[in-house]
Amino acid sequence: MYQGIVDSVVNGETRGSEIGHRVVLPASFIGGPRDMHKRYLDAISLVRAFGKPYLFITMTCNPEWKEIKDNLFVGQVAQDRPDLVSRVFHAKLFDLKDQILKKSIFGRVAAYVYVIEFRKRGLPHCHMLIILAIDCKINSSDMFDSYVVAEIPDPAKFPKLFHLVSRHMMHGPCGILNRKCPCMVDGRCKNHYPRLFSENSTRGRDGYPMYRRRNDGRTVTVRNCTLNSQWVVPYNPYLLYRYDCHINVEICSGLTSVKYLYKYIYKGHDKIYVHLSQHGSDTFIDEIRAFQDARWISAPESTWRIFEFDLNEISPPCINLPLHIPNKQCITFWNHQNLKKVLDPGNVGKTMLTEYFVACSSDAEARELSYLEFPHYYVWDRRTKIWNERRKRQVIGRLNLANPTEGERYYLRVLLLHVRGAVSFDDLLTVSGQTCFSFKEVAQRRGLLESDRSNFECLNEAMSFHMPCLAPCQSK
């Protein structure tokens, strides 16, 4: 079974599908920088449509779960059953989604996105971002304590919660207590522990929440060190009770959490360096040719992919809208397709953009919408290549990016973001009854490029959501 995973990694095969109300990336999804960047832009589109995330939840698999230990054979430990670990964590994750999305324990959810990662030891964990509905949003620091706790509970009143916090939610110890802790960078904890005591939850200068941590004298002993509430990782008592694992719940401060979710756009995959040699042989070995640079996949990650569990989920789904200047659309086809049919004049020129123009010319309601808003009310039929009225499911659109150096394509994007109900490219080129020679001229006459600081504004906007990249960016 594992050979299929190895072949997928070597060949770089990827596939994805939209099923129901979510985008599913099955086991063969490898997640190269270009693919992950698209997923990141989809998440940013959710923020554009519904506002910034309000909750960031990290759930980590606990190998001591009863469901795992009760199903081990005699003499086995959790590390011997990666299939069991993956299945139990998947079931727990499904229940977590049910609690948040259907039972609305934090309030009604407008949108969410999550990714699955695997730690160096192989245990799966989930990072989930929650965007709450307008009437359920967290508007002030006074509401923080209703969602998140960062203190050691009273062992007399809550003995079980005290045990769970001391077992799963205590950081480190690090700093002067343990300078060899993995979180130590340049002699300091990269997670800023121990935190300061605070009588009330407040929002810090950088927008990051400072949770209530009262100096009440409560301590726990962790790894032979006595720790107080300064070392508690923020948690939600109900979720910690229910799942008996490390489950960190944080109030979000902005787009930084979205960037963290897709940090391996530039981090890359876990790598392993392999050197092949023959023991006891005098045969000359070419170390350069024998050296192998490979990707490391742990046993739980392999079984997760074999079972084709979701690696990424986003809701509502995001539809990628093509962007092209006249007669410069991209044409895709399969090797076995008949090229005469592919190049059929009645079919080859149809794209989402051209058919948006057609819909606006015949539908009065469509003329009230911009290209970006169109997928929310209409659904694209890939077989017939037409837009039909959407009757169910919520979808948002994402218009492909364009660099200012691309010239006319960039200015066309500017127009499509602001002009509603255009019926053709020629219509976009017309301003007050006069036809312009370029999209740039139209944008200027419409006042969309009137600022002399447009280049600086473009860079400042990109800085807020773009990720650093080690290789030249090829994403659209």
Q: Which amino acid is at 157?
A: K
* pLDDT confidence of residue 28: 38
* pLDDT confidence of residue 93: 96
235 has which bridge partners?
149, 248
- 23, containing H or E segment: strand 22-24
Question: What's the rounded Cα separation, in Å, for the pair 461 and 466?
Answer: 9
* pLDDT confidence of residue 238: 96
Instruction: Work out the widest C-alpha separation in the chain, in whole angstroms.
Output: 86
* pLDDT confidence of residue 168: 94
Task: Please tell me the pTM assigned to this model.
Answer: 0.80
3-state secondary structure 284-340: CCCHHHHEEEEECCCHHHHHHHHCCCCCEEEECCEEEECCCCCCCCCCCCCCCCCHH
Closest among 194, 53, 238, 21 to 127, alpha carbons compared: 53
71-84 CB burial, b ≥16 within 10 A, e <16: eeeeeeebeebbeb
Question: What's the rounded Cα separation, in Å, for the pair 198 and 281?
Answer: 66
- 226, containing H or E segment: strand 225-227
Please count the helices (runs of H) and the strands (runs of E) in the chain: 19, 21
What six digits make up the tokens of 306?
């074999």
120-142 CB burial, b ≥16 within 10 A, e <16: eebbbbbbbbbbbeeeeebeebe
Q: Cβ(78)–Cβ(85) under 8 Å?
A: yes
Question: What's the rounded Cα separation, in Å, for the pair 188 and 210?
Answer: 19
Question: What's the rounded Cα separation, in Å, for the pair 452 and 52?
Answer: 30
Note the Cα 121 to chain centre separation in Å: 22
* Domain parsing of the chain, residue ranges: 2-315, 322-445
Residue with tokens 């489950």: 247
Q: Cβ(220)–Cβ(166) under 8 Å?
A: yes
Closest among 374, 415, 368 to 396, alpha carbons compared: 374
**Beta-carbon-side half-sphere exposure of residue 28 (alpha carbons within 13 Å):** 12
The per-residue pLDDT string of the chain (476 residues; one tens digit each, 9 = 90 and over) reads: 333 333 332 233 333 333 233 333 333 344 555 677 788 888 888 888 898 889 999 999 999 999 999 999 999 999 899 999 999 999 999 999 999 999 999 999 999 999 998 876 678 999 999 999 988 888 888 889 999 999 999 999 999 999 999 999 999 899 888 888 888 998 899 888 999 999 999 887 766 889 999 999 999 999 889 999 999 999 999 999 999 999 999 998 677 777 777 765 556 666 666 666 666 666 666 666 666 667 778 889 899 999 999 888 999 999 999 999 988 888 777 888 787 777 776 667 788 999 999 999 988 999 999 999 999 999 999 888 899 999 888 899 999 888 888 889 999 999 999 999 999 999 999 988 888 899 999 988 888 876 556 667 677 777 766 666 654 444 44
DSSP, res 366: G
Q: Which amino acid is at 34?
A: R
Quickly count: other Cβ atoms within 10 Å of residue 210's Cβ: 17
Question: What's the rounded Cα separation, in Å, for the pair 268 and 326?
Answer: 37
H-state helical runs in 193-318: 237-243, 256-261, 264-267, 287-290, 299-306
